[in-house]
Amino acid sequence: PMEAEAEARLLLQEARESIEAARSYQRELQQRLRGLQQARKQIRESATLTRDVLEQHFKDLKGTLKKLLDERLMSLLQEVDTIEQESIKPLDECQKLIEHGISTADDLLREGESAVHEDVGQQNEKLCNFTKKALHIQLDSLPEVPSLVDVPCLSAQLDDCLLTILKNQIFRHGTVASRPPVQLEEFVEKPGGILVRWCKVDDDFIPQDYRLQYRKSTASHFEDVYVGSETEFIVLHIDPNVDYQFRVCARGDGRQEWSPWSVPQIGRTTLVPHEWTAGLEGYSLSSRRNIALRNDSQSCGVLYSKAPTYFCGQTLTFRQVLSGIETVGQPDRRDSLGVCVEQQNGYDSLQRDKAVCISTNGAVFVNGKEMTNQLPAVTSGSTVTFDMEVVQLGPSSNEGGNFKLRVTISSNNREVVFDWVLDQCCVSLYFGCSFSYPGWKVLVF
């Protein structure tokens, strides 16, 4: 009985495992079925859209060609009218002159015949008047009538090769692509933004430029966000936890038209955007509070972020952009860009304890001490990035022991790497900046 009971339990266990495997297999098949349904839907919807685009394009093309042909026909007919009128006008004038001469000759003939048959007493006088009148008319002077070879003979010269050219061009006009030459590859969350990457999937396609578009999932139209030769772009001004649709296309080398769009994909970010603290005298902020401009106020101080929104493992980027005076401000040795553990008022620079920063002349400061390594100076258009990763020292690092962050600061294709030792666990940090003179304008993302 015990062996039978054990065998029954074993069989029951095997049956349960088989049932779970069948359920897992069923779920996997259902998921693959949904994938097939989505693929079929994409094919049918893209085919329907392509048909609509082709029909509308050729409808517009036929309308445009008809309009152009009608305009050309009208132009040629007007040219025929003009030549006809200009050529007939001198002939009409010549005809009037000849008809006038014929009328004059008729009158002269009647007068001469009357004079010849007049009585002898009056004949001499009438004959004398008739002769004078005939001499005055100059009967030997005749108007010149052009020969047929000297007058226009209109004809239409129509080159039949136009039909051949049009036929060849029309037969080559338009293509149907089963796959776009570029596709979206990756979305990386950024604070208030998304880093979008794409790649070329057609080996025979040589791209010259890329064009990236996006829209909110609730919007009806896409809008351009990037056109250029790079294969990635950070799209800013993205609302957190909101779906956005992205698509990309490319333009071939030496071509004017864009390729078909990639398959649209959804991207989103869960990270709130970086914002500067509003209300600090000496700084003016943009509407989204991600750009700070050092104004001409005499007040000095450090402008901090609104919250500790920089997390280890992310990249924090400062970009110096042009202000209204088209230049950066005058540098000062206290100027700095960087991150810190906490906000501390009363300082005029980030070159202090519990902070790492870079000055505008390229010097790097860790807890207020200048390092020997130096980066290029910050100028107009410069981009400075901070990358940090946690390196814990000892098993008690989270209970008040030493806590180490590995920091990488990059500027103008150069970087410095060092370890920043803190006395407390800290994975989210504030960022800040300080400038002594007006004109500095910094975007953070």
Pairwise CA distance, residues 428 & 131, whole Å: 128
The packing angle between helices 120-137 and 2-116, to 10°, is 150
Same domain, 111 and 253: no
Cβ pair 418, 410 in contact under 8 A: no
Q: How far is CA 200 from CA 204, 256, 265, 359, in A?
A: 10, 18, 16, 40
What digits encode the pLDDT tens for the residues 327-347? Answer: 566 888 899 999 999 998 888
Looking at the DSSP bridge assignments, the partners of residue 318 are 384, 444
Q: Who contacts 50 (Cβ-Cβ below 8 Å, separation ≥6)?
A: 176
pLDDT of residue 400: 47
In a domain, 353, yes or no: yes
Confidence of residue 119 (pLDDT cuts 50, 70, 90): low
Region 441-445: mean pLDDT is 92
Of the candidates 219, 233, 225, the one whose C-alpha atom is nearest the C-alpha of residue 190 is: 233
Cα–Cα nearest to 379, from 359, 365, 403, 360: 360
Confidence of residue 300 (pLDDT cuts 50, 70, 90): confident
Instruction: Select from 351, 406, 361, 407 the least CA-distant residue to 382.
Output: 361
Residue 346 lies in a domain: yes
Co-location of 210 and 349 in the same domain: no
Mean pLDDT value across residues 299-326: 83
Average pLDDT in the 112-133 region? Answer: 73
Indicate whether 386 and 309 sit together in one domain: yes
Most confident of 2-11, 198-207, 323-332: 198-207
Q: Are residues 46 and 98 in the same domain?
A: yes
- Are 253 and 308 in the same domain? no
Shared-domain flag, residues 312 and 418: yes
What pLDDT shows up at residue 322?
63
| 221 pLDDT tier (thresholds 50, 70, 90) | very high
Task: Flag whether pLDDT at 121 surpasses 70.
Answer: no
Question: Looking at 115, 146, 172, which one is the last position of a domain?
Answer: 172
Residue 6 inside a domain? The answer is no
277 inside domain: no
CATH number at residue 192: 2.60.40.10
Separation CA 245–CA 224 (nearest Å): 12
Instruction: Tell me, yes or no, whether 254 lies in a domain.
Output: yes
Residue 74 has a pLDDT of 95
Mean pLDDT of 135-162: 82
Average pLDDT of span 398-423 = 84
Q: 63-102, pLDDT tens digit by residue?
A: 999 999 999 999 999 999 999 999 999 889 888 988 888 8
The verdict on 28 and 152 lying in the same domain is yes
Q: What is the pLDDT of residue 116?
A: 77
pLDDT in tens, 411-440: 988 999 999 988 888 888 999 999 988 889
Residue 276 falls inside a structural domain: no
Cα 406–chain centre separation: 39
pLDDT value, residue 3: 82
Strand 291-294 to 441-444 pairing: antiparallel
Does 145 share its domain with 189?
no
Considering the domain architecture, whether residues 71 and 204 belong to the same structural domain is answered as no
User: Is residue 5 in some structural domain?
Assistant: no
pLDDT at 324 over 50: no
Judge if 293 and 438 occupy the same domain. Answer: yes
User: Does the pLDDT of residue 397 top 50, yes or no?
Assistant: no
Q: Give the chain's mean pLDDT.
A: 88
Q: What is the pLDDT of residue 270?
A: 92
Instruction: Enumerate residues 6+ apart whose C-beta is below 8 A from 213.
Output: 222, 223, 224, 225, 246, 247, 248, 261
pLDDT at 293: 92
Domain boundary among 224, 241, 267: 267
Domain boundary among the residues 130, 152, 172 is at 172
How many domains is the chain partitioned into structurally? 3
* Rounded CA separation 9/19 (Å): 15
Under the banding of pLDDT at 50, 70 and 90, the label for residue 251 is very high
Cα–Cα distance measured from residue 126 to residue 118, given in angstroms and rounded to the nearest whole number:
8
Residue 369, domain member (yes or no): yes
**Containing structural domain, residue 363:** 283-444
Distance of CA 420 to the CA centre of its chain: 43
In this structure, are 231 and 101 located in the same domain?
A: no
* 188 and 239 belong to one structural domain: yes
- pTM for the predicted model, two decimal places: 0.62
Which domain CATH number covers 292?
2.60.120.920
Q: Which pLDDT belongs to residue 120?
A: 61
The pLDDT tens digits of the residues spanning 369-395 come to 999 989 999 888 889 999 999 887 555
